[in-house]
Structure 1
Amino acid sequence: MALNFPAGAAISGLLLIALLSTSASAHNITRILSNNPDFSFFNSLLTSTDLAAEINSRRTITVLAVSNDAVGAITGFSPDVQRRILSVHVILDYFDLDKLQNLNKHSTILTTLFQASGVAEDLAGFLNVTKFGDGRIVFGSAAPGAGVDADLVGSVAARPYNISVLQVSSVIIPPGIASVGDKSPPPAAANAPVSAKVNETAPSKAPSPAADSPVTEAAAPAPATDVPADAPAPADAPAADAPADAPEAESPAADSPKGEADEDANSGGERVVIGAGLGVIVGAVLLASL
């Protein structure tokens, strides 16, 4: 004989099952930490930065809590930077004491909520957990230059495999996390490279090559003030030197006056002789007529 259940009863049963499964997996980090007053300041920071709601929305999570006497390193930062630092303390996986003790590797890289934010640079969104031979377990940022110095103190709460709250000895602050997403340098840093660049290029651009170049100084002609006013131009210099170096025989101008003087002297002598002869002949004729 078949049993007929009303449709409303079936729907109510499904809703009850869904409600029970949701309540079984749900967790509240604020309520967990409120049971221990040593984490009251850490708990209030999770609430003020809205990280508590995001932690509660995750199905599987591990929170590295810091006690009131060690959380003071966060207080000097802005709320936005505080959120970044606190999100580094939220691991996107479940790790309790047993799971950490059974790690096969000496060091393991873990993904944090800061990496899921999309603004983490380099390895700032990852944690490095190291297990030493003496059983000591230490957490630290996986970013270059960061130290691994936040010791695991113990377990605060665990609900396998949804949420685990572990206490660490100090705040984990990745290098450069305070300036993540800020691409503009501070005013002093922004002006320094510009000034340095100007100073580097000034010597090559400021002087005029014609004024400062040793080569152009050597090739430039001598200043006009150093040359006498009546000095001949460079093009006339060879003509001025030609008479001193030219052979004497090649200078017709120098021999011309001397030749003409000799010719005139010879002509005058011949005229004197002819005149004297004529005078003798005329005198002889006159004597004969007497």
Structure 2
Amino acid sequence: MSPSLVRFASVLFSCCVLLSSTATAFNITRLLDQYPDFKTFNDLLTQTKVNQQINQRQTITILTVSDDKMSEVSSKPVEAVKKILSSHVILDYYDTQKLKNLKTGTSVLTTLLQTTGTASSQQGFLNVTLKDDKIVFSSAVKNPRRNVMLTRSVAAQPFNISVLEVSGPIIVPGLDAAPTGPVAAPAPMKAHAPAPAPHKKKRVAKSPEAETLEAEAPSDDALSPDDAPASFRTEADAPAADETPDKKSRAPSKSSAAGKGFVLPGVGLIVMLMLVASFLTSQ
């Protein structure tokens, strides 16, 4: 094989390796596994799934914190921890030298928290300041709780990923305000409702005719012909066609019933008197 062909094969192999590393990006979990001092930070990245968001990026900087400084963060609810860790991920490549080359004063860096849609005001940004040859990080929110300093460079893959250790967690105002435990649901307000009305037996609506029949219904005693309902009377007892009887008083009054009861005895008395008179006259 000629030397030129060997060189071509070598260059081709190097290009394939470079393309492969670029396509697979990096795995932050495996990278931090090589540094036992950051085990808590690494575990929390996995629990909150922030590691998955980091691995999807091609250019990124992680500000990691040693285990002995993570107790303040690990004691918080998962959602609060996720936001805090996201604020430690800068969406650009910064190593020690690049930070020192920043202009004098304060520069604003964008973090992963800004892309989540949960940041308000300036919570998704960090300030980096060069002060007395020291590099200081703080939240871009007004009156940040704490400033942390760059301690050392942990790992770097130029222009892809940089891992920097800082002196402590960056506490962004408002992110750690979440409760540390489940919040009990508030008791429902008691409305001053009026006392319930006493239970009443449901009354079935009745037609006027049914009410009239109930009113005219006889007692358990024997019914007399005169007290019988209108439907059982004879034609002689029915009202005349031109009369419009009152629905509430269809039954005849006691006085009229009594008068009808003496019609036949009166006629018989008259007949008897006439026979007596005829007999006396014939004598």
Find out whether 1:50 has 2:53 as its counterpart.
no
Which residue does 2:73 correspond to in 1? 74
Q: Indicate the RMSD between aligned Cα atoms, in angstroms.
A: 2.5
| Offset from partner CA, 1:226-247 (integer Å, 9 cap, x none) | xxxxxxxxxxxxxxxxxxxxxx
Instruction: Select the structure of larger CA radius of gyration.
Output: 1
SS of equivalent to 2:41: helix
Alignment CA distance shift 1:179-1:149 (3 Å): closer
Please state how far the C-alpha of 1:43 moved relative to its aligned partner.
0.5
Unaligned runs of 5+ in 1: 1-13, 192-290
Contact 2:148 2:167 in 1 (8 A): yes
SS of equivalent to 1:139: strand
Alignment CA distance shift 1:148-1:137 (3 Å): farther
Letter in 1 for 2:95: D
Which residue does 2:35 correspond to in 1? 36
Which residue does 2:133 correspond to in 1? 135
Provide the rounded CA distance (Å) in 1 between the counterparts of 2:20 and 2:118.
Answer: 31
Provide the rounded CA distance (Å) in 1 between the counterparts of 2:149 and 2:18.
Answer: 37
Contact 1:143 1:175 in 2 (8 A): yes
Q: Which runs of 4+ in 1 moved over 3 A?
A: 16-20, 185-188
Provide the rounded CA distance (Å) in 1 between the counterparts of 2:62 and 2:40.
Answer: 15
Which residue does 2:167 correspond to in 1? 169
Provide the rounded CA distance (Å) in 1 between the counterparts of 2:123 and 2:52.
Answer: 22
Which residue does 2:148 correspond to in 1? 150
Please state how far the C-alpha of 1:144 moved relative to its aligned partner.
1.2
Which residue does 1:6 correspond to in 2? none
Please state how far the C-alpha of 1:86 moved relative to its aligned partner.
0.3
Unaligned runs of 5+ in 2: 1-11, 190-283
| Offset from partner CA, 1:188-233 (integer Å, 9 cap, x none) | 9xx9xxxxxxxxxxxxxxxxxxxxxxxxxxxxxxxxxxxxxxxxxx
Letter in 2 for 1:173: I
Letter in 2 for 1:174: V
Provide the rounded CA distance (Å) in 1 between the counterparts of 2:114 and 2:22.
Answer: 28
Provide the rounded CA distance (Å) in 2 between the counterparts of 1:187 and 1:85.
Answer: 26
Alignment CA distance shift 1:120-1:186 (3 Å): farther
Contact 1:85 1:172 in 2 (8 A): yes
Provide the rounded CA distance (Å) in 2 between the counterparts of 1:170 and 1:20.
Answer: 35
Contact 1:138 1:148 in 2 (8 A): no
Alignment CA distance shift 1:82-1:19 (3 Å): same
Alignment CA distance shift 1:175-1:187 (3 Å): farther
Letter in 2 for 1:23: S
Residue correspondence of structure 1 range 1-290 to structure 2 within 5 A: 20-24=18-22, 26-132=25-131, 134-179=132-177
Provide the rounded CA distance (Å) in 1 between the counterparts of 2:50 and 2:16.
Answer: 26
Please state how far the C-alpha of 1:27 moved relative to its aligned partner.
1.0
Contact 2:128 2:137 in 1 (8 A): yes
Corresponding residue pairs, total: 170
Provide the rounded CA distance (Å) in 2 between the counterparts of 1:19 and 1:103.
Answer: 32
Contact 1:152 1:166 in 2 (8 A): yes
| Offset from partner CA, 1:65-95 (integer Å, 9 cap, x none) | 0000001111221111100000000000010
Provide the identity percentage.
46
Q: Which has the higher helix share?
A: 1
Provide the rounded CA distance (Å) in 2 between the counterparts of 1:31 and 1:103.
Answer: 30
Contact 2:114 2:125 in 1 (8 A): yes
Which residue does 2:242 correspond to in 1? none
